[in-house]
Structure 1
Amino acid sequence: MLSFVFFFIAALGEIAGCYAFWAWLRLGKSILWLIPGTIALMIFASILTRVDASNAGRIYAAYGGIYVLSSLFWLWLVEGVKPDKWDLLGVSVCLVGTSIILLSSHQN
């Protein structure tokens, strides 16, 4: 499903953009980190509009589970912290919610 591809690209943009601000404010990195961070957040916002849906709120809600999954990958691959069983349980619950929202027949 193309929506999931857009969700993962959006998640990468959102997490990278927010992490740039985290690095600047919490890790003492250069303010120049905000340049790619802002670009990443712009990519996030524009990519999420590519998901085919009539309601933005429903897409944002469904995106939440993919964001949580992507955040745990970021935690593991970028920050070097392996997710534990509680992280995995939590993301599983989120992905069930994402699937219900995306795959259900909604009446507008």
Structure 2
Amino acid sequence: MTFLVYATAALAEIAGCFAFWAWLRLDKSPWWLVPGIASLALFAWLLTLVETSVAGRAYAGYGAIYICASLLWLWAVEGARPDRWDLIGAAVCLAGAAIIILGPRPPVAV
């Protein structure tokens, strides 16, 4: 469930940020901001669905999924194929996220 939430959140964040990119850098209509803002709000809400006792750990784990989704966006939407350095960097990020999420630790007192 966590991976699905992270993947959906990544798509929502990238789409929302791309709407701003399109408006500011690609001279698209300001109306692109309407779905962009909605998409960013969806992204923020989705991250609250991750089961964790602390928000920072949810965000850290999400970061690797975001990076991988960004490279997929690069390829699928922008037509630029990720190179080996992109893929190596994504693998390192996934390994780091796994350590953060799966590492044994005592419960956090809030």
TM over 0.5: yes
What is the CA deviation profile of residues 27-81 of structure 1, one whole-angstrom value per residue up to 9, with x for unaligned ones? 0000000000001001100001000000000110111000000000000000000
Deviation of the 1:106 alpha carbon: 2.1
Partner of residue 48, structure 2? 49
Two-structure CA RMSD over aligned residues (Å): 0.6
Return the letter of the residue paired with 1:8: A
The one-letter code matched in structure 1 to 2:83 is D
Deviation at 1:92, TM superposition (A): 0.3
Give the match for residue 60 of structure 2: 61
TM superposition outliers: structure 1 runs of 4+ over 6 Å:
none
Show the counterpart of 1:87: 86
| Normalised TM-score (structure 2) | 0.95
Equivalent residue, structure 1, for 2:10: 11
Number of equivalences: 107
CA distance, structure 2, for counterparts of residue 25 and residue 18 of structure 1: 11
Shift of 1:103: 1.3
Write the deviation string for residues 1-45 of structure 1: whole angstroms up to 9, x where unpaired: x11110000000100000000000000000000000001001100
Structure 1 length-normalised TM: 0.97
**Alignment partners' CA distance in 2, 1:48 and 1:106:** 21
